[in-house]
Amino acid sequence: MNTELAAPGVDAETVARVLLRGNLKDLSAAQKVSYYRAVCESVGLNPLTQPFDYLVLNGREILYAKREATEQLRRLHQVSITIQSRELVGETYIVSARASTPEGRTDESIGVKSIDGLKGEVRANAMMTAETKAKRRVTLSICGLGMLDETEVADIPPAAKGQMVIDAPPPEWEKPSDPDEPAPPEGYVRVMAVESTPTKNPNVLKFAITLSSGEVVTTINNWLASIAEDAREKRTPVKAETKTTKWGTDLVSLKAAADPERQPELPPLNADDIPF
């Protein structure tokens, strides 16, 4: 097995065990970003559109597919979706969807949603969710991705979910790891700390990113938070693009000083290491 993913403090055996069991919680932030990019590349998706997101479920950290993933997959593989049936069984609305590809492959999945006690627009939205769930589940199935869909994640009880944790910074994060570390180029800063806190939405974390300028910026984008953590670990100078909102200063993008047009490069992960 390719062990290029291994990093200081994480041996190759641990990496192999993590990937084979599908639990990503023991990977470093840089490894998670590398894994994310490799998954996208292995199935032909654009990582910049953030087709996947991380979720802690029953103690295991996993990737799940967002709407961007299934829409890209349908276009990429020319997947056609046909609704086979819509039926109300008691107070449960069930939709069956059938997927087919130009080479003749077919697959079917169902989407189920309880509408017990729902009325009006809320009831209608629940019925549409069942259809969306059926379409996305069958898309992932026919494309060979055995992972949860965004609509399924929304139905998971909060008690089963946990918080995705990015390693906390050392107590004296404000001090550079190297006292002789040069100042970043003009217009660039270093990431000093990345901290996460839960929000009212159990699926969303808010990240506070402290920069060497003293500014604290926030984001709910896991991808940006992982890039920030990688820059913190590597002491990579970055240029932070931000915008001011009523909630504070939001992080829009991070660009490395070595090449302002690209995001920080991360260790490659061989596609053979992806467990699906």
Task: State how far the Cα of 254 lies from the Cα of 176, in Å rounded to an integer.
Answer: 20
pLDDT of 258 reads 58
pLDDT of 50 reads 85
pLDDT class of 2 with cuts at 50, 70, 90: very low
Whether the predicted pLDDT of 180 surpasses 70: no
Question: 17: Cβ–Cβ under 8 A, 6 or more apart, which residues?
Answer: none
pLDDT of 176 reads 43
pLDDT of 211 reads 86
Percent of the chain past pLDDT 70, that is, above it, reads 75
> Dihedrals φ, ψ of 235, to 5°?
60, 35
pTM: 0.54
Give the burial string for 43-79 (b: 16+ CB within 10 Å, else e). Answer: bebebeebbbbbbbeeeebbbbbbebbbebbbeebeb
pLDDT of 6 reads 45
Q: What is the DSSP secondary-structure string of the chain?
A: ---TT-BTTB-HHHHHHHHHHT--TTS-HHHHHHHHHHHHHHHT--GGG--EEEEEETTEEEEEE-HHHHHHHHHHHT-EEEEEEEEEETTEEEEEEEEE-TTS-EEEEEEEEE-TT--HHHHHHHHHHHHHHHHHHHHHHHTT--S-BHHHHHTS-GGGEE---PPPPPTTTTS-SSTTPPPPPTT-B-EEEEEEEE-SSTT-EEEEEEETTS-EEEE--HHHHHHHHHHHHHT--EEEEEEEETTEEEEEEEEETT-TTSPPP-----GGGS--
Bigger pLDDT: 107 vs 49: 107
Whether the predicted pLDDT of 177 surpasses 50: no
Task: State how far the Cα of 42 lies from the Cα of 20, in Å rounded to an integer.
Answer: 16
pLDDT of 97 reads 95
- Rg over CA atoms, the chain: 21
pLDDT (tens digit per residue) in 23-45: 787 777 777 787 788 888 888 89
Chain centroid to Cα 54, Å, comes to 4
- Give the highest mean pLDDT range of 77-81, 197-201, 235-239, 250-254: 77-81
Bigger pLDDT: 261 vs 199: 199
pLDDT (tens digit per residue) in 62-94: 888 988 899 999 999 999 999 999 999 999 999
pLDDT class of 139 with cuts at 50, 70, 90: very high
pLDDT class of 20 with cuts at 50, 70, 90: low
Tell me which residue of 42, 60, 40 sits closest to 52, measured CA to CA. 40
Please state the rounded mean pLDDT for residues 104-118: 92
Q: Which domains does the chain have, with CATH numbers?
A: 1-60+165-276 (no CATH), 80-142 (3.30.160)
